[in-house]
Structure 1
Amino acid sequence: MTAFSSLPSAPQVIAVVGATAAGKSDLGVTLAQRLGSEVINADSMQLYRGMDIGTAKLTEAERRGVPHRLLDIWDVTVTASVAEYQRLARAEIDRLLGRGRIPVLVGGSGLYLRGAVDALRFPGTDPGVRARLEGELARHGSGALHARLAAADPRAAAAILPSNGRRIVRALEVIEITGQPFTAQLPGPGEEQSVYRTLQIGVAVQRPELDARIAGRVERMWGQGLVAEVRTLEAAGLREGRTASRALGYQQVLAALAGECSEDQARAETVRATRRFARRQETWFRRDGRVHWLDGGGAARDRLPEHAWTLVERAVTS
């Protein structure tokens, strides 16, 4: 264990970010071990109980004795809330800082991570407005609402897929509640205001290798029993969960179980959708100039922990 937390220049939080399958989880465990600290999950889908295989949640053995916080805290029927995650994550960060530890946030959910460490505010909800917009979504489809969002807030529309009805509804709800664009709630690149001194370490892998890793991961998930996991969660209400049911892999298996496609088609679509998602993750994190990028591909993968530790030491002495 190395004690940096008492040094005035030390980061208060270390965040390990990047695309899915880049190697963030293992690096986070290694850094937390070396710091004598804990990992705080910043993957929105790993917050759900029972969603283990499809989210590549580390097993107890893979965690190597490092405590992991904010895993398995919600039932699959709960709708995800970045504002609630912000409250929970900051409570965990403050707890560890109070014990003289530097928490290690790990995950690829960019808005969740920024909610934890940056001065972001999340407007509340209006049940009446939400219900009306969801009714319009059911009647007219996400495309029509996305067109409305594009007229009201082009930046938000560019960042949200036309098929993502849940996020479109939320953006339109915020616009109606606040009278401001949805993107007005989020500082743009270069406008970030940190709540904690945060060292952000990005793990980068070249696209061909990352695509191969994603394909291999999906094959392993099927071999480990993803379909059986989804069946179990379906009985627990997964289909009714507005957030959990859209998770990569789970959404595709649910479609196969409903007879909308074959299992082979679901597996192939999971690979395609995960690759698209990884590209969006990379775009999100690349926009933030505070991220220090390290090569996590090829032969550099073995040297990644030492390179990351060098960044930690450098941040302390700078």
Structure 2
Amino acid sequence: MDKKEKLLVIIGPTAVGKTKLSIELAKKFNGEVISGDSMQIYRGMDIGTAKITPAEMEGVPHHLLDIRNPEEPFSVAEFQELVRKKITEITSRGNLPMIVGGTGLYIQSVIYDYRFSDAASDEHFRKRLEKKAQEEGNSEIHKMLSQVDPQGAEKIHPNNVRRVIRALEIYHCTGKTASQVQESQMPEHLYEEALIGLTMEREKLYNRINDRVNQMMEQGLLEEVKSLYQSGLKSCQSIQAIGYKELYDYFDEKNTLEDAVEQLKQNSRRYAKRQLTWFRNKMNVEWFDMTDVTNEAILHKKIEEISNYIEGKLEIKSNN
């Protein structure tokens, strides 16, 4: 059996401090970072997705940023394929692949051998649904999904027609929801991975999220979203991202700017809570608490603690 490739994964809720920590660890372990965020793939969506800047990268190579235009859809299966190729490329250079991000399903799809194409398919059924969506509207097939898989329907926007139809097709062929099919598989670990999770006392995390939203507004988030809005971009996957849909409501005159920003903060806090729940329930994570990291000296100690864990888990040495 071939030796498994080594992989470092750093996960955690939004605003917990993944970016800065990942750069320090990349420098210590000759790492290259692969974005594990489903929205940072989009060009022109920089401030709202908290995309790392070239200056913040400090020379560390980053992958899967700015690879799609905002009007293009992007699936978990595409992410899975692209990231697995990147892991092999980075390993072949003698460097350590590092997935950093907060989109749990995307990261899970890479490290476990879930075969999205294995579920039975029915082309005739799929074509029938595509026709129904065109003739009666996207909301009609989304209602169909709500009836058989309400939890799955909540996670998929009605305008993401391809995913809605795929979920219905899986149910049609197997009698099980997509998540039930996934859970019934016995996933194999494809990599020799160290799975690091960053967490933080909730009140402090929520304050950091609120501060981050204020900072995004100061950095020009309103102008970024306005540019997308004025380009005519509507009803597509990317605009459902937190930070964009709330400000779209403002431009659509459904909300005041003040209320839109407050909604953005609230949605970000709720998302952080959902992220933590997902990671704790779905993945075997080694957690590190960042609550008390208030200065560079404490951060350095935390990096040492995490580095020691990585060295033991992956049997590798750091540069210092």
**TM-score interval (norm. to shorter):** 0.7 to 0.9
Read off the aligned partner of 1:297 and give its amino acid letter.
T
CA displacement at 1:169 relative to structure 2: 5.2
Q: Which secondary structure state, in structure 2, belongs to the residue aligned with residue 76 of structure 1?
A: coil
User: What is the CA–CA distance in structure 1 between the aligned matches of 2:220 and 2:127, rounded to whole Å?
Assistant: 38
- State whether structure 2 residue 16 is matched by structure 1 residue 17: no
CA displacement at 1:257 relative to structure 2: 0.6
Residues 58-98 of structure 1, C-alpha deviations (whole Å, 9 max, x = no match): 11111111011000000000112111111110110010111
Mapping for residues 198-277 of structure 1, pairs under 5 Å: 198-240=193-235, 242-277=236-271
User: What is the CA–CA distance in structure 2 between the aligned matches of 1:185 and 1:163, rounded to whole Å?
Assistant: 17
User: What is the CA–CA distance in structure 1 between the aligned matches of 2:170 and 2:91, rounded to whole Å?
Assistant: 33
User: What is the CA–CA distance in structure 2 between the aligned matches of 1:228 and 1:117, rounded to whole Å?
Assistant: 37
User: What is the CA–CA distance in structure 2 between the aligned matches of 1:173 and 1:137, rounded to whole Å?
Assistant: 18
CA displacement at 1:192 relative to structure 2: 3.5
Residue from 115, 120, 130 that aligns with 1:121: 115
User: What is the CA–CA distance in structure 1 between the aligned matches of 2:184 and 2:58, rounded to whole Å?
Assistant: 37
Matched residue, 2:306: 308
Give me the CA root mean square deviation: 2.7
**TM-score normalised by structure 1 residue count:** 0.85
Read off the aligned partner of 2:243 and give its amino acid letter.
G
CA displacement at 1:170 relative to structure 2: 4.5
Contact kept, 8 Å, 1:119 with 1:194, in 2: the verdict is: yes
- State whether structure 2 residue 192 is matched by structure 1 residue 197: yes
Structure 2 CA distance for partners of 1:170 and 1:234, relative to 1, 3 Å: farther
Matched residue, 1:60: 54
User: What is the CA–CA distance in structure 2 between the aligned matches of 1:58 and 1:65, rounded to whole Å?
Assistant: 12
Bigger drift between 87-96 and 163-172 goes to 163-172
Structure 2 CA distance for partners of 1:217 and 1:137, relative to 1, 3 Å: farther
User: What is the CA–CA distance in structure 2 between the aligned matches of 1:29 and 1:227, rounded to whole Å?
Assistant: 28
Matched residue, 1:132: 132
Matched residue, 1:182: 178
Matched residue, 1:112: 106
**TM-score normalised by structure 2 residue count:** 0.85
Read off the aligned partner of 1:148 and give its amino acid letter.
Q
Bigger drift between 269-278 and 169-178 goes to 169-178
Structure 2 CA distance for partners of 1:104 and 1:237, relative to 1, 3 Å: farther
User: What is the CA–CA distance in structure 2 between the aligned matches of 1:233 and 1:255, rounded to whole Å?
Assistant: 13
Aligned pairs, number: 301
Contact kept, 8 Å, 2:194 with 2:313, in 1: the verdict is: yes
Residues 255-300 of structure 1, C-alpha deviations (whole Å, 9 max, x = no match): 1111111111110000111111111111110014521000112237
- Quick one: percent identity of the two aligned structures? 33
Bigger drift between 230-239 and 252-261 goes to 230-239
User: What is the CA–CA distance in structure 2 between the aligned matches of 1:304 and 1:231, rounded to whole Å?
Assistant: 40
CA displacement at 1:19 relative to structure 2: 0.8
Matched residue, 1:296: 290
Residues 1-54 of structure 1, C-alpha deviations (whole Å, 9 max, x = no match): xxxxxxx7x970000001111111222211111111210001000010111000
Contact kept, 8 Å, 1:13 with 1:102, in 2: the verdict is: yes
CA displacement at 1:172 relative to structure 2: 2.3
Read off the aligned partner of 1:223 and give its amino acid letter.
E
User: What is the CA–CA distance in structure 1 between the aligned matches of 2:89 and 2:214, rounded to whole Å?
Assistant: 39
Structure 2 CA distance for partners of 1:222 and 1:188, relative to 1, 3 Å: farther
Q: Which secondary structure state, in structure 2, belongs to the residue aligned with residue 259 of structure 1?
A: coil
Q: Which secondary structure state, in structure 1, belongs to the residue aligned with residue 216 of structure 2?
A: helix
Unaligned stretches of 5+ residues in structure 1: 1-7, 151-156
